[in-house]
Structure 1
Amino acid sequence: MKLRQNARHFASRTALQTPVVRSVATAGLVRLHTRVFLDKADPAHADEREAHLDDLFEATIDTYLRALKDGYSEAEAREITHIQAAFDFYNHGWTEMMEFPTDELDAHYDRYREFFERWDITIDEPLGQFAPAAGLTEAPSTPEKLDDPVHPHAEGGFADDVYVETESGETVVGGRDEPADIDVSQAVGVRDGAETDAPENENENESGGDGEN
């Protein structure tokens, strides 16, 4: 799939790996992701999905950190979590929130099959061993949307690798080079107001083809 990647992503990664700021970074990233995906949701159903998305994105942060420990790059680890979210959205029939089309689900799974199988992640069980013990907050499904899925925020054709759009707008395969100096204070949730006041074009932990990535 296609992601954005810039210095702030590396700052957020480092914040999540730093105990003293991990909790605020986690809270900020969860709020940011929930807000962005609620904006993609059918307005008639957005409010009823909020608690579910909060739980989902908090769990995927654990996946992200595990993927980094297992040797995946920042872009790959983040892509894994976005694929998990796409599986969850598909299972609920929330096709308007998906970042790649339903016909690319298997291709995305296959690229990370080794990781997914190790941690019991499947399309039907997107969180695998990273699922919280109490489960996710329930939210109503819209299975009828699977009959003729509409993907206004999806960008297909990037299922064969992780593609990264840099600050300059260039699309590269595999991700950009890590910055020489990483400023943790620029991480989502750590920088004052970042988790609640970031404008749309700063929703930079997101991926997809709609300009919000």
Structure 2
Amino acid sequence: MKIRQNIRHFATKKALTMPVIGDIATEKMVDLHVRIFSERADPDRRDEREDHMAAFFECTFDTYLAALDAGFPEAEAREITHVQANFDFYNHGWTEMMEIPVDEIEAHYERYEEFFERHGIDIAEPLGEFRTIDIPDAPATLDKLDDPDHPHAEGGFADDVYVEDDSGEVGVGGADEPEDVDVSAAPGMQDVDRTDEKTA
């Protein structure tokens, strides 16, 4: 999968791994992702999917932290959560929201198969053991799988995590993490009290 990576992603990682602030960061990131993917959905389908996405995305941030704990770098840990989301979109036939083509779903699973198996994740059960809250149902559009239309999907990046930086350059694996990252660079964190930052 091709993803972006810049200072905001490293700031978000730091925020998510901090006590107290981590919960706030999760809420901000869930809201951001619901908005982004809702805008990709068919306009008449957006409202009926938002509660499902909000709960689903909340669970994926636990996956992100587990992937970091397992030693994955930021780009791969984040890609894992995006793969989970694309499994869910695929299962619902929400092809217009997918970031990878339907025919690359299996390849993305195989790249992280060991991690996924360890946590009970597969294509049919994208959250595995990270399904710790109720996920509201949302209507599927499975007929779209017969002739998938996914304008936001980029194919040809299934063999590794490809990272695009702010200059538009694309490389494999992601950038080295900066030593000193300000969490206020993370989306939605500009006005958050960071009293606990020094002890995180």
- Give the SS at the match of 2:171: strand
Distance in 2 between residues matched to 1:133 and 1:164, nearest whole Å = 31
1:86 correspondence with 2:86: yes
Asked if 1 retains the 8 angstrom alpha-carbon contact of 2:59 and 2:133, the reply is no
* Cα deviation, residue 188, structure 1: 2.2
Amino acid at match of 1:99: E
Displacement over 4 Å in runs of 4+:
none
Q: How does 1:30-41 map to 2 (within 5 A)?
A: 30-41=30-41
Give 5+ residue unaligned stretches, structure 1: 194-213
Identity of aligned residues (%): 63
Distance in 2 between residues matched to 1:181 and 1:159, nearest whole Å = 32
Asked if 1 retains the 8 angstrom alpha-carbon contact of 2:48 and 2:139, the reply is yes
Q: How does 1:156-167 map to 2 (within 5 A)?
A: 156-167=155-166
- Give the SS at the match of 1:45: helix
Distance in 1 between residues matched to 2:133 and 2:162, nearest whole Å = 33
Q: How does 1:1-213 map to 2 (within 5 A)?
A: 1-134=1-134, 136-192=135-191
Give 5+ residue unaligned stretches, structure 2: 193-200
* Cα deviation, residue 133, structure 1: 4.2
Distance in 1 between residues matched to 2:133 and 2:175, nearest whole Å = 36
Amino acid at match of 1:109: Y
Asked if 2 retains the 8 angstrom alpha-carbon contact of 1:121 and 1:129, the reply is yes
Amino acid at match of 2:158: A
**In angstroms, what is the RMSD of aligned CA positions?**
1.1
Measured against aligned partners, the alpha-carbon deviations of 1:73-111 in whole angstroms (never above 9, x if no partner) come to: 000000000000000000001000000000000100000
Distance in 2 between residues matched to 1:73 and 1:149, nearest whole Å = 32
* Cα deviation, residue 46, structure 1: 0.6
Distance in 1 between residues matched to 2:144 and 2:71, nearest whole Å = 37
Amino acid at match of 2:170: T
